[in-house]
Structure 1
């Protein structure tokens, strides 16, 4: 059972088929972020910070996240299999599916975060300039403090990733520390 905590880690769209224009470029940049996402996830688990996977359903409307992961492993880019191997959710992690860019759009995420008494969201995943950006903006609108781990996200190009991070920082005051900085900082004030 997931316990209330001031923080939560949202891992966005890491199970992906990369079968779209620019997908190969995104996959190659995502490959570099996989170890950082795995490290951040493990530290969050150790601190008692809830880990919440929110993933696109790829129009697999009859599947849960396990089925979506199986689909991406079967038909996706080789990085799809690498991500599944390195980032597979554990039994303690929450798993939600989404059908649009933002993890907040028509998902159970708002109710879950309210139940957990969450105040701060740490974001990781792909694409930094699309789904992570949309989720960060919606989180800000919902009143959450938002942190985006800059080396735990990826976009189709490094320039697009950089622009997304700059926009979040300048427009919304979103902090963009590295995973190393987050790990050294530790959790914020623990469980509620």
Structure 2
């Protein structure tokens, strides 16, 4: 158990969807900082790593199926550096927020989490809604802006500003968010 959890949102992606062309260049930019953050979270004592990924409407899919599809998708290079390790905490979601219809709040309560670091995609969608749900559950939120990817640059900036101003999120970098 720890007081900090790094939550990786929707990074197990096949990149075979209508927004992929706009998203991919932005995911490419975050891969090095995100992969380094995941590596450091795995090595750090006192940090929990949790992957929450959309099930893309497949309610029969296990998390391993989602990972397998992503590794066999259009851009496995954007998946391989951050694939969950054996025994990692994983769960699937069905909508934008990582809290909606998942056991994330329960898990974080059991882990006695006091601080959430939200990473992944998409800044103006799933990251924003997850941050809001974390805020209303009284979790302090940290957003490493170099470890979240947007589809629309203007909306991504607006989402970061909203999280900072309306949800008291701390904006930082992946290099600085673990202390």
Same fold (TM over 0.5): yes
Please say if 1:53 is aligned against 2:51.
yes
What is the aligned counterpart of 1:118 among 91, 103, 113?
113
Please say if 1:131 is aligned against 2:126.
yes
Q: Which of 45-54 and 144-153 deviates more?
A: 45-54
Indicate conservation of the 8 Å contact 1:60/1:68, yes or no.
Answer: no
User: Deviations along 1:25-48, whole A, 9 cap, x unmatched?
Assistant: 111211111111111111122222
TM-score when scaled to structure 1? Answer: 0.88
- Kindly state the Cα deviation for residue 122 of structure 1 after the two structures are TM-superposed: 0.3
Q: State how far apart, in whole Å, the 1-side matches of 2:155 and 2:168 are.
A: 18
Provide the aligned length of Structure 1 versus Structure 2: 178
Q: Which residue of 1 aligns with 2:28?
A: 31
Q: Which runs of 5+ in 1 are unaligned?
A: 187-192
Q: Secondary structure at the residue paired with 1:95?
A: strand
- Kindly state the Cα deviation for residue 86 of structure 1 after the two structures are TM-superposed: 0.8
Segments of 4+ moved more than 4 angstroms: none
- Kindly state the Cα deviation for residue 163 of structure 1 after the two structures are TM-superposed: 1.2
- Kindly state the Cα deviation for residue 19 of structure 1 after the two structures are TM-superposed: 3.1
What is the aligned counterpart of 2:10 among 9, 13, 16?
13
Q: Which runs of 5+ in 2 are unaligned?
A: none
What is the aligned counterpart of 1:141 among 136, 140, 145?
136
Q: Secondary structure at the residue paired with 1:40?
A: helix
Q: State how far apart, in whole Å, the 2-side matches of 1:45 and 1:57 are.
A: 24
Q: Which of 14-23 and 119-128 deviates more?
A: 14-23
Q: State how far apart, in whole Å, the 1-side matches of 2:60 and 2:78 are.
A: 22
Residues 43-122 of structure 1 mapped to structure 2, 5 A cutoff? 43-48=40-45, 49-74=47-72, 76-78=73-75, 81-122=76-117
Q: Secondary structure at the residue paired with 1:10?
A: strand
Indicate conservation of the 8 Å contact 2:131/2:167, yes or no.
Answer: no
Q: State how far apart, in whole Å, the 1-side matches of 2:126 and 2:28 are.
A: 17
Let me know the Cα RMSD of the aligned residues: 1.3
Please say if 1:164 is aligned against 2:159.
yes
Q: Secondary structure at the residue paired with 1:105?
A: coil
Q: State how far apart, in whole Å, the 2-side matches of 1:22 and 1:53 are.
A: 22
TM-score when scaled to structure 2? Answer: 0.94
